[in-house]
Each structure stands twice: as structure tokens, then as C-alpha cells.
Structure 1
Amino acid sequence: MTTALPLELDLLALAKAVPDLRREVRRYLGVPCADVQLCVTELVGNVVLHVGEGTPVRVRVARTDGCGGAGRIRVEVTDPDPRALPVLLCATADDESGRGLALLDAVAVRWGVEQGAAGKTVWCEVGNLR
């Protein structure tokens, strides 16, 4: 059950759009939220890299209720390519890329992918902000 209206933004996945997106997430949550901002950055960045720059995406950020009042922040990024699935890599010290999902995995309580015929949604949940 969601406790407040979610932030929902339709935009083009462009590297130059990420700073404004991060600010909008911070404004929506109203508190410092580096982990949530990191997740949004990595998920949109993956669309830019693996689906293509300029791909239309929907970004959704919502506070959710949990058991005993332990809520979470859910981040979802939906894109139109059902085939380009995220893969958690084990980057070596010399690799110049491949750490994005590892960072997301480190800060998120859980994450996953929901596939549909017309696209996919990559989501994660971060512990509630205090």
C-alpha cells in the first residue's frame, strides 16, 4: 500500500537529463536521499547504455508501507525494450564499466525486473528515509 502519491515522470533517457532527475527525486522525497538518487541514476544510465540514448522511459518513485511501519522507497524505470535485461556483473579492478548494478545491489533491499510484451520495468526498493 502506498502512503503518498508517487512521483511519475515520462522523459527521454539522456545522460544530460540525469542531474535534473536527481534533483526532482530529492525535491519529491523532501530529505537527503543519496541511495535513492544513486538507484535512479544507475537505472536510467542502463537504459542509455543498453537500450539507447533518447529512449522514452517512465521513472516512478514511491513511498510504500511495510510490516510494522517499516516502509521503503520503490524506484521503477520502465523502457520499451523487453529484451535488454540487466545483468549483475562482477567487475574487476581494471574494468571501466560494469559496476552500476553492483552499486544498486549494495544499497537496495531488493531489486528485480518485470517483463511485458511492450517493455520492461527494472525496480528496486531502498530502506525508508528518516
Structure 2
Amino acid sequence: MRALRTAECVRRKPVELPFLAEPREVAGLRRIMRLHLETWGLHEVVETAKLCLSELVSNVIKHVGSGTPTRLMLSMRGTRLRIEVQDPDARALPTLLAPDWEAEGGRGVALLDSIADSWGVVLRENCKITWCELATSAESPHGHVTNPGVVRADALLGLYGTVTRQPPPAANRLCVAVAEEAAVDVIADLLLWLRAHGRDVDDALDRALIHCDAELNAKGTFI
């Protein structure tokens, strides 16, 4: 069996979503983006990304017009998350001004500039794309979030795919106690690995217990 590699588990394919730039659409867009980022294992940037998205869409609504056909694009640029919002008006450009934090509006671009690692505008003949990028802790565009436990679990899963089950050797109580602590550490690392890949930890635990119970019931005893 080929060893399992983490980089083959997290395929962060670019996402494109057309929508109408209206205030009522923002909440739904934020939810959709959160789901994609969690699936990609980028939990640590979810809240910042949602805020950036809100500002980018609000800029279209304010300066281009409510109901404007718009497109959201999510992708990876190396290990950075890139958020793009495309609208059909190449004339209304976002401008960075000194923010008046006591004013009711006009802070969008300044806020974007303060929370994004970089941002800019791409002008095309019939549209413009306003984008921003956020740094992540991913090791590669398709790698997992850096965490020692995730790395250990990845190595364990790779080893697990290369061996067959064998009866455990005889062991005294001390060895069993030490092995039990090691097993707990392994379980914790595997849970970290699952969470880093956007999976439901509770669901995985339930399924593991079901598999364990089924095997015990089939054999009548632990071998």
C-alpha cells in the first residue's frame, strides 16, 4: 500500500463564486468562505478573511452600486491566501485615505490595509479585481497547517500504510502502562491531524469506536 502523504490530502483548488453585490449577500458569502477555509485547514485566518471579504464587497456596493454582478475568487499564492473580488467598473478605484475613525464610513480601504498582508487592484479592459492576501501557517500551497502533532501523525499514517496488523508481543504491566501513554499521545496527534485538514473530530472518534466495537464483536476477544 502506498504511504499516505499529507500534501495529497489537502487540495486547495481555486474557488470562483458569482454573486450580486448587495448587503444581504455578505453574510452568505462569509459562511461559504469559512467552510472552504476550514476544509483547507486554514482555521487561523478565517476571521480576518471574513472581515477582508466584507470590506471588499462593501467597496463594490458603495462605489459601483448595489446589485452589481460581482465575482469572488479564493486561491493560494504560495502559502498565502488570496481573496479577489471582481466587478465590471474599471473606473471606480479604491483609494487609501487617512482614516477618520469617528466617521460613520470611509474606513474600508484603511481597514483592509491594516489587516491584510498586502492588497491591490488589477485593471482589465472591462473590469477590475480588488485583491488582498493573508499569510497562513501552511507549509505549502497543498500542505497542512504547521503543528508538531500534525507532523507526527502524518509520519505515523505513512508508516501505518506500509505494515500489516501483527499480534502485539507479550508485555509486562509497566510496558503496557508506558505504551498506554504513548497511545494517548498518538490519538491526540491524529485528532490534531484531522482538525488541521478540516475534518470533524467528534465524528471521527465515533466512527473509530464503531470500527473497534465491530472488530471486537466479530472476534469475541482482543487478539
TM over 0.5: yes
d(CA) in 2 for partners of 1:24 and 1:93? 29
Kindly tell me: are residues 26 and 92 of structure 1, through their superposed partners in 2, closer, same or farther at Cα, counting changes over 3 Å? same
2:81 aligns with 73
More helix by share: 2
Match of 2:69 among 42, 56, 66: 56
Match of 1:127 among 123, 130, 135: 135
Letter of the 2:80 partner, please give it: R
Q: Deviations over 1:80-107 (max 9, x none)?
A: 0000000112122432111111111111
Query: Which entry has the higher C-alpha Rg, 1 or 2?
Result: 2
| TM superposition outliers: structure 1 runs of 4+ over 4 Å | none
Q: Alpha-carbon deviation of 1:44?
A: 0.6
1:17 aligns with 25
Q: Alpha-carbon deviation of 1:62?
A: 1.3
TM-score, structure 1 as length reference: 0.89
1:26 aligns with 34
d(CA) in 2 for partners of 1:77 and 1:60? 6
The yes-or-no answer on 1:43 pairing with 2:65 is no
Letter of the 1:40 partner, please give it: L
d(CA) in 1 for partners of 2:95 and 2:26? 21
d(CA) in 2 for partners of 1:55 and 1:22? 18
Question: Percent of aligned pairs with the same residue?
Answer: 44
Q: Alpha-carbon deviation of 1:4?
A: 1.9
d(CA) in 2 for partners of 1:76 and 1:42? 11
Q: Deviations over 1:12-63 (max 9, x none)?
A: 0010000000000000010251111111110011000000000001100112
